[in-house]
Structure 1
Amino acid sequence: MNKGLYNRFWRWHFYAALFITPLLLTLTLSGIGYLFYPNVENKAYDDYFFGKSAHTEKLTIDEGIEKAKGQFKGYSVSKVIVLKDPYNTRLTMDDRNGDEKYVFLDDNYQIVGSQNAKYTFSNVMRNFHSSLFVGGTVVNYLVELAACWAIFLLFSGVYMAFKGKAWKKKQNASHHQKNKKWHALVGTIITLPMIIIIFTGLPWSAFMGNFIYSAAQEHPSIGIPELKQNPPTSNMSEIPWATRENDAPTSSDGSGAHAHHNGMSGMDMTNSNRLSVQQLMTKVEDAKISKPYSIIYPSTEDGVYTVARGSNTGVTGLDVSPYDEITTYFDQYSGKLISKVGFDEYGLLGKWFTWGIPLHEGHLFGWPNKVINLLVCLAFIFVIFWGIKTWLSRKKKGEFSAPPNTAKGVSIGFGIIMIILGIMMPLFGISLLIVLLIESCFWFFKKRQLSV
């Protein structure tokens, strides 16, 4: 066995685990919480999702929307979510401060209740998982960095397990050797599924996520089709001649809290010429688009109604199979179906993440997906636990007992592996340079002290 390479991996594995274990536990536990958010919300918000209003008068959906706007002054509708029975219809409403509210309408389109979007279970878990409730670029980078170093931990752990033959049966094995065996064995088993879970979560990350999204936009043949990036416009000639010269309505800023998950945004505008939601829903039905789907309002006078079925919406009851994902554009004045783009039109990169995100979220292939993700996450927690036990079982009293430093320089094999990982995960590569710089400084000062 190459002792120098082994010790190098062992030392970096130890220190990486020491610094990122709290973050890894946080990400794993919050990930488990998010995994079951539809199950939790179906129970916790039963009255909102499936309840009925005390008012039994039958309204049109447009009357229900107007009633909601009247009850919640200062809020405008940005999205209508039409779900399958027995779910109620859900309105997303925003105010000018960026606050978001969910309002539920029953089958008579009467108001059942409302929620502050910020404090729903799914959004709390998502915020906890992605930004630790703190948010900001630094925290988002820190979360991504922990995920990247977790991949290094898995790779280096597998290398040491095979090189050290950690699972080989030993006579009269010590407590330390038993802990090491279980740490190595379970860690090796979950390496592949854990790496898949981590990589399918990277589209949300701050650094690599933006890189992936930019690549998908710049290269539509492998990523996001041009039509989905730049939706068509409504035909302005559909506006009646008598009112065509009137000042066009303006929309609020579509950034921030109004942004849709795929970059689109909408805001309800006062426009008497525009098709009503009820009329649009008839057009949607004629176009053979089945529930569930979301309706995103036009944000400009020449904007379009966007009707979408998504595989990674983060909304209970709205997700569909990746193969059924579709985004359609309807003229806001005539209701004409202008164009549509579906899974088959996506490039390879777009298809991978359209398929990968629901796999990460645990709803790609029903409850077995949730169970597999749960078992992998629990096994990962146990690997961390056994790792800590392994260290404590060999730790000498009063000493830190870090793995021994190797006197040799960085080997070619170690360098190649780290370069490959650094290219695959740029933020990891940047942190790697910082670690190497720190280690070089320690080596320089130590050498200087010995020479004095």
Structure 2
Amino acid sequence: MNKGLYNRFWRWHFYAALFITPLLLTLTLSGIGYLFYTNVENKAYDHYFFENSTHTEKLTIDEGIEKAKEKFKGYSVSKVIVLKDPYNTRLTMDNKNGDEKYVFLDDNYQIVGSQDSKYTFSNVMRNLHSSLFVGGTVVNYLVELAACWAIFLLLSGVYMTFKGKALKKKENASKRQKNKKWHALVGTIITIPMIAIIFTGLPWSVFMGNFIYTAAQEHPSIGIPKLQQSPPTSDMSEIPWATRKNDAPSSSKEGGHAHHAGMSMPGMDMTSSNMISVQQLMTNVDATKISKPYSIIYPSSEDGVYTVAKSSNTGVTGLDVSPYDEITTYFDQYSGKLISKVGYDEYGILGKWFTWGIPLHEGHLFGWPNKIINLLVCLAFIFVILWGIKTWFSRKKKGEFSAPPNTSKGISVGFGIIMVVLGILMPLFGISLIVVALIESCIWLFRKKTIQA
């Protein structure tokens, strides 16, 4: 066994785990919570989702929307979520301060109740999982970096398992050896499924998300032809991954307008007497054979369009569909005419992969078995983390840190190649490696000067 290479991996494995364990536990536990958000919300919010208002008068959906705007002064409707029975219709309402409410309408389009979007179970779990409730670029980078280093931990763990023969049966094994064996065994078993879960979550990330979309744009044969993309964000979650923030076509209007349509902004009420009603739009949607569930996103400007979308990764209870059924359509806001549409078959290989990958990551691609598999992998990952800590304490000497031994040898070619490959596959991880290398160089220079002095 190459002792220098083994010790190098062991040392980096140890320190990486030491620094990111709190983050990994938080991300894994919040990920488990998010796996079951639809089940939790169906029970916790059954009144909003399934029950009726005390008012029995039958309204049109547009009258229901107007009632909601009257009740919640200062708020305007930006999205209408049309779900299958027995779910109620959900309105997304925003004000100029960026506050967001969900308002539920029953079969008569009477108001059943409302929620502050910040405190729904799905949004709490999502915000904890993606940004630790803090948000901001630095925190998002930190979360993504923890995911990247988790992949290094898994791969380096597999290397040490086989090189160190951790699974080899030993007679009269010590407590430390038994702990090490369990840590190595479970870690090895979950390496492939855990890496799959992590990689299918990276399209939502800040740094690698941009990298993926850039690749999709610059290489149409494997990406998404003719679509202008940017990294996905939670506030646009009702639109499929492959067409989020797409450069939507514009509605025609007498006199003409510049083609700069987009999605609704908080507090913007684009409704006017010239726009078709939501009921008319829904009739046109039915005529184009688009079945429920789907979301309607209001135009954001006078030449904007209604966007009607079905997605496999919405983050909205009752709204997800099969990846094959994904479609994004654009309707003229004045005539209600279907202008254009983008479906799953038009995605490139990369777009199709992540259209399947994200629901796999979220645990609803193939129903309950997906949830159970993800749950077991996450629980096993927590076991590996905690057993790693237990293994450290079983070898830790009293009053000492007991870090893995440092190696006097320089970085070997094998170690360098492995880290470069990982750095290329995960650019943010590569940048962090450069930072680590600079820190180690500074420490080495400081020690050298100290010895010389």
TM-score (norm 1): 0.93
Aligned letter for 1:380? F
Correspondence for 1:430: 431
Query: 5 Å matches for 1:359-374?
Result: 359-374=360-375
Summarize the Cα distance change of 1:271–1:78 in structure 2 as closer, same or farther, 3 Å threshold. same
**SS class of match (1:338):** strand
Could you tell me how far 1:218 is from its partner in structure 2? 4.3
Structure 2: which 5+ residue stretches go unaligned?
A: 228-242
Correspondence for 1:241: none
2:18 is the counterpart of 1:18: yes
Summarize the Cα distance change of 1:218–1:299 in structure 2 as closer, same or farther, 3 Å threshold. farther
Could you tell me how far 1:420 is from its partner in structure 2? 0.6
Could you tell me how far 1:94 is from its partner in structure 2? 0.5
CA distance in structure 2 between the partners assigned to 1:397 and 1:359 by the alignment: 45
CA deviation vs aligned residue, 1:52-98 (integer Å, no higher than 9, x gap): 00000000001100110111111000000000000000000000111
2:248 is the counterpart of 1:231: yes
Could you tell me how far 1:210 is from its partner in structure 2? 2.0
Aligned letter for 1:231? A
Correspondence for 1:407: 408
CA distance in structure 1 between the partners assigned to 2:427 and 2:82 by the alignment: 40
Could you tell me how far 1:42 is from its partner in structure 2? 0.4
Query: 5 Å matches for 1:102-181?
Result: 102-181=102-181
Could you tell me how far 1:184 is from its partner in structure 2? 0.4
Could you tell me how far 1:224 is from its partner in structure 2? 3.1
Summarize the Cα distance change of 1:252–1:303 in structure 2 as closer, same or farther, 3 Å threshold. closer
Query: 5 Å matches for 1:9-408?
Result: 9-226=9-226, 228=243, 229-237=246-254, 254=264, 267-408=268-409
**SS class of match (2:410):** coil
Alignment check: 8 A CA contact 2:263 2:299 kept: no
**SS class of match (2:162):** helix
CA distance in structure 1 between the partners assigned to 2:220 and 2:67 by the alignment: 42
Q: How many residues align?
A: 435
Aligned letter for 2:249? P
Aligned letter for 2:11? R
CA distance in structure 2 between the partners assigned to 1:435 and 1:348 by the alignment: 35
**SS class of match (1:158):** helix
CA distance in structure 2 between the partners assigned to 1:369 and 1:411 by the alignment: 41
CA distance in structure 1 between the partners assigned to 2:100 and 2:121 by the alignment: 15
CA deviation vs aligned residue, 1:104-152 (integer Å, no higher than 9, x gap): 0000000000000011110010000011111111111111111110010
Could you tell me how far 1:438 is from its partner in structure 2? 1.4
CA distance in structure 2 between the partners assigned to 1:448 and 1:163 by the alignment: 36
Correspondence for 1:440: 441
Could you tell me how far 1:440 is from its partner in structure 2? 1.6
Could you tell me how far 1:185 is from its partner in structure 2? 0.5
Alignment check: 8 A CA contact 1:223 1:348 kept: yes
**SS class of match (1:236):** coil
CA distance in structure 2 between the partners assigned to 1:83 and 1:207 by the alignment: 33
Structure 1: which 5+ residue stretches go unaligned?
A: 238-243, 259-266
Aligned letter for 2:429? F
Aligned letter for 1:295? I
CA distance in structure 2 between the partners assigned to 1:302 and 1:27 by the alignment: 41
Alignment check: 8 A CA contact 1:141 1:206 kept: yes
Could you tell me how far 1:375 is from its partner in structure 2? 0.3
Could you tell me how far 1:214 is from its partner in structure 2? 3.2
Aligned letter for 2:380? A
CA distance in structure 2 between the partners assigned to 1:253 and 1:296 by the alignment: 7
Aligned letter for 1:51? E
Instruction: Give identity over the alignment, percent.
Output: 83
**SS class of match (2:101):** strand
CA distance in structure 2 between the partners assigned to 1:446 and 1:91 by the alignment: 63
Could you tell me how far 1:165 is from its partner in structure 2? 1.0
**SS class of match (2:309):** strand
CA deviation vs aligned residue, 1:329-368 (integer Å, no higher than 9, x gap): 1111221111111111011111111111101000011010
Aligned letter for 1:173? A
CA distance in structure 1 between the partners assigned to 2:343 and 2:401 by the alignment: 56
TM-score (norm 2): 0.93
